[in-house]
Structure formats: structure tokens, C-alpha cells
Structure 1
């Protein structure tokens, strides 16, 4: 019965044009999407400060931070203009993040923007609007009332297109900025340098903040 159910689900997805988890549809392949995690292998990923990956594992189709080992860096390639699509689930009171355009592995705090992942029950960080899930960490808060789904899978679509960076969480836009605007020509938030002057090409990284976090359907479409 379990086999028949799985087979029926696969057939239903094929008929509907939807991709099964950690796969690309024919339409996505034709449109240039890349799969950065296939559900079974961690190929391409290393710890930020190592050439190997410790304590991030492929478990039941998810890329899971399973014990301390450091941030997970996609070192196979750097990206400039792109759409990044992924699903994530964070432990109760957990904290993580998605770093984009990370240009220096030594000074990663100051050279890559972080789209925050934070459980809604983490009261300390939740008290700061530009630290909640979907924020451009320490820089831009999501609109009032936009919140992640605790204990469930959430979805990010992150777009970097030249100077423009935006994010949607579960289909709702959480921020959109243009780093050529005057405010980004001086240091903001945690950054020592003006964010508008940082390189626009770099690595992707998933943050290890000490709690369990899971990712799946990590897909990227390069833009011109």
C-alpha cells in the first residue's frame, strides 16, 4: 500500500507539472534552474572554514544541520544575479539564516547579506523587527504582521538582480531594496562598510546558529 501511495503521488506530480521534492521539472530545466541539493547528497557544500562538511547531513530528503560543525557554504560556484528558491524549517526558538553574495570567507559577517531565519517563539530576537524571519538581517524588517509558520516548512524566494535585492516568504514580500539609493552609501546596522559598495557576486551560505534547521528544494536560476 505504501508503494502504491508513493507511486500515485509521483504520477500525480508528473501530470500536474509539479516537481517532486529536490527535483526540477522539465520546464524548470528549460528555464535554466540549477538544483543545489538533490535530497541524498551534500555534493558542493562544505563548512565555511573547511574543505569538508561536518554535521550537515542529507536526512529523509532534507539538508539538516545535525550537531555543531559550522555554517554550510555552497563552494562549487559563486553567483551574481539570480533567483534562489528554497524551503526551510527551524527548531522551536531556533535561529539560522541564508547568506547571499558572500564575497569574503574571512569577513563573512560584513561582506554578505543575510536573510534571517528565526522561530517566532524566540522572544529575544523577535523583539527586534529587523531580526525576525524574512528580514534583511539588521537592515530591513518585514511588513507588520508578516510572520513565519512555526514548526512547519516555510518558503523563500530571494532575488538578486544588479543593485536590487528582494525576498518573499510564503508568497508575501518581506523586503525589496536598491543599493544604489543614498541610504546604502553609508554603513547601516551591523555593516562596517556601506552595503551599497559591497561586491555583487559571491557565495551562498546556510547558517549554523546552534539549533536544528532543515532545508529542501534548494534551487537557483541565474539571471542575465
Structure 2
């Protein structure tokens, strides 16, 4: 009798902890949400049960974590995930070999029950290997996003594009582009979702993965993970996960700050043709549409949810005298922005991917770079980390300083000017 009672208790405890049969894959696709492939290879079923059973024991421990959701690329980050983001409580919910349909099936137990503070998604490459259509992948993603939004309509969701691979891995560049395009169409215009261009970040000139970052043309190595982490950090900072303290900065003698680091005082919108002021943001932390936001010492030009949207923020003052303008900027992969000097635009982008200066020796992708513009006699001399961008940039006799928003996220800080007399 005692042994029978003990067996019942063990069975009940196992059920409550999510151990064993609770995490077995359904035998058929009947009543399984979504479409496309749900893998059932023996090795995958074993891994699926093992990882999900272990996670079931950590539900309380992982409450409120930033969840990384995906397949082997996410799983492969392993313990280094927390080392990549030591300031953040993270939970790795990647399962090697998983598909969008598999993620959809396990979303409630593995992610939503954690009440995550945010979710980083990378999924879809295995659907491609199985021959599933881009429409199938996008349809499943739509259901995944819908469930996450239903759980928390304010939680940030970062969607990473499917990374490049190779036709030799049954993942040709054209098909990956198609999946990324279809998936972007699903989330286009949704301000809760930020899309990170991890395809352009890693693709070579043919659209395939580079062996120096993906030795097997599918999974990133340490260099690849470091690059992915660096690309995520600016977005995580914007969403309040990182860089919560304003770094100490002392301006050089003779310089005045054009951005106070706290709000948009001294900045506003102007008519694009006449440059006449149309709206000012003195005392406000953001523009009325939240495209330009002051966050912990940074003036952030946020990622437009529709992919591209050209906007311009200008100083309310104009500058007729010769000057030296200094600022630091940081760009997400392939981001496109610009700095207006009295009106003409100097391209300020993720130069290594977006150009026009793709081979600057001192440019630091997804890190802070210094832009220096010296204007004398109507000619601007422009450098990035000491590398010359343009030594004969013609500018008008007077005008404001402006920051353009176009594609991706751009951040500016320590914007300061010294008048030359």
C-alpha cells in the first residue's frame, strides 16, 4: 500500500514539475496549432523533453527574465548568454532543431509562464531546411507574436532576422531573404516589436554566412555570438535593460553642450523646405511620436516600426560663425541616419554595412564613434575617429544642426560645439 501511495505521489509531483510525459511531442499534427513541420526525430524528441523538463523546475527562478527564444543558434549561446549581458536576468529557451511550429507549441509553458520582461526571437532556419514555405513561417510567427502581445501588450519584443547560411545546408540566400521579408510584413508597423537586421550583419557579398563567424555555415562561433550581442546591446539599452547610468563626461574648454542629456530642450522640428521652426520640444524627453528620445545621456533615434521613415530633428538655434562640432554616435546593423550641417547632410550610418565609407580603418561597428566637423569659411572638414570622410564639404553661411532618422536605430551623445573666432 505504501509503495502504491509513493508511486502516486511521485507521479503527481512529476506532472506538476513538467517532467516526463507532459513534455512529449504530440504523435501527430492533429490539433497542433500552426502549420508546417513539427520535428519528431528521435534525438530531437529526447532533447525537447530534457530541456523543457529542466526549465519546468526553473519557472519561479526565471520569473521576469529577458527570454531568448529560438533553436540551436540560441541554445548554443548556453552559459555565455548571461556573460554577454551580465546586467540582465536572462533565460535561454532555445532548442536545437526547433521550428516556428515547435516554438508556437511550447510558447505558453516555456516563455509566457515566466512573465518575461522582454523576448528576443530568432527562429525559422530549420523550417527552411524542412522545405516549409515562407508563408508558413510567417503565419506561425504571427501566432507567436499574437500570444506574446496578448500576455503583455507593453513588453518589448526583439525579432532577429533569420541569419545567413548556405545552399549546401539547404538554406539558400534567396529563401532566407524571402522568409525575412514575409516575417517583417507580419510585424510591420507594430511599435511593440523591433526588428534587428541580423541577416545583413552576417551575410557575405553573396548573401551566405562567413566561415570566420559560422564555421559550419549554420552556427556562429564565439566571434559570431560576440557580434550578435554587440548588435543587441543598443536596442536593449533603449528598452531599459542596459546602460541605466549616465556615464561621466566633461566637455573640453570652450565647448557648449547642444544636448543636455536629459531632454530635448533646444531641439525641435522644422519645415523640410524652408527650415522654419514648426515644433519645439523644450523640457520634453521625447518628440510627440517617440522617434527621438532622450535616454540616460543619449539622444536616441528609434527604429521605425514600418522599416524606414525619414524624419529630421533640428536645433532651435542657427550657427552663422565658424565652429567645431563634436559628437559620438552608435548605430545598429545597417542603420541609416545623417547629421545636417546648417542644412546639407553628412551621412552618419553604420558605415561598414550601409556605406558610403565601408572601409574606414577606425570605425567600430555597434559601438561608439566620434564625429568631428570643423566649419571654416563655408567649408566643413569631417572625420570619424580621425578618418577623413569629407575634407571639402560645402555648407551655407548659417543654419541649424540636424539629426536625421531613416532606417534602424541611431544614438547620439556628447553633442557639443565650440565657436571659432
| CA distance in 1: counterparts of 2:351 and 2:400, whole angstroms | 27
Give the direction of change, closer, same or farther, for the CA distance of 1:97–1:219 in structure 2 (3 Å limit): same
| CA distance in 2: counterparts of 1:165 and 1:59, whole angstroms | 30
Aligned to 2:375: 160
Tell me: higher relative CO, structure 1 or 2? Use CA pairs within 8 A at least 6 residues apart: 1
| CA distance in 2: counterparts of 1:210 and 1:79, whole angstroms | 30
Q: Which runs of 4+ in 1 moved over 4 A?
A: none
Q: How big is the shift at 1:43? A: 0.2
| CA distance in 2: counterparts of 1:48 and 1:67, whole angstroms | 21
* 1:51 is aligned to 2:248: no
Q: How big is the shift at 1:57? A: 1.1
SS of the aligned residue for 1:209 comes to: strand
Q: How big is the shift at 1:66? A: 2.4
Gaps in structure 2 of 5+ consecutive residues: 1-246, 272-277, 281-286
| CA distance in 2: counterparts of 1:217 and 1:162, whole angstroms | 25
Q: Which moved more, 1:61-70 or 1:154-163?
A: 61-70
How many residue pairs match? The answer is 156
Aligned to 1:220: 417
TM-score (norm 1): 0.61
Contact 1:90/1:151, CA 8 A, preserved across alignment: yes
Contact 1:117/1:132, CA 8 A, preserved across alignment: no
Aligned to 2:323: 82
Q: How big is the shift at 1:174? A: 2.7
Gaps in structure 1 of 5+ consecutive residues: 1-18, 103-111, 134-143, 180-194
Aligned to 2:298: 62
More helix, by proportion: 2
More strand, by proportion: 1
Equivalent residue runs for 1:104-115 within 5 Å: 112=344, 114-115=345-346
Contact 1:80/1:101, CA 8 A, preserved across alignment: no
Instruction: From the CA coordinates, give the structure whose radius of gyration is larger.
Output: 2
Give the direction of change, closer, same or farther, for the CA distance of 1:67–1:199 in structure 2 (3 Å limit): same
| CA distance in 1: counterparts of 2:248 and 2:420, whole angstroms | 24
Deviations 1:43-79 (A, max 9, x none): 0111233314332111121000125582111113334
Contact 1:71/1:205, CA 8 A, preserved across alignment: yes
Equivalent residue runs for 1:27-176 within 5 Å: 28=253, 31=254, 33-49=255-271, 50-52=278-280, 53-54=287-288, 55=290, 56-68=292-304, 70-102=311-343, 112=344, 114-120=345-351, 122=353, 125-126=354-355, 131-132=356-357, 145-146=360-361, 148-176=363-391
Aligned to 1:24: 251
Give the direction of change, closer, same or farther, for the CA distance of 1:147–1:118 in structure 2 (3 Å limit): farther
Q: Which moved more, 1:33-42 or 1:49-58?
A: 49-58
Deviations 1:82-118 (A, max 9, x none): 100000001111011111022xxxxxxxxx2x22112
RMSD across aligned C-alpha pairs, in angstroms?
A: 2.5
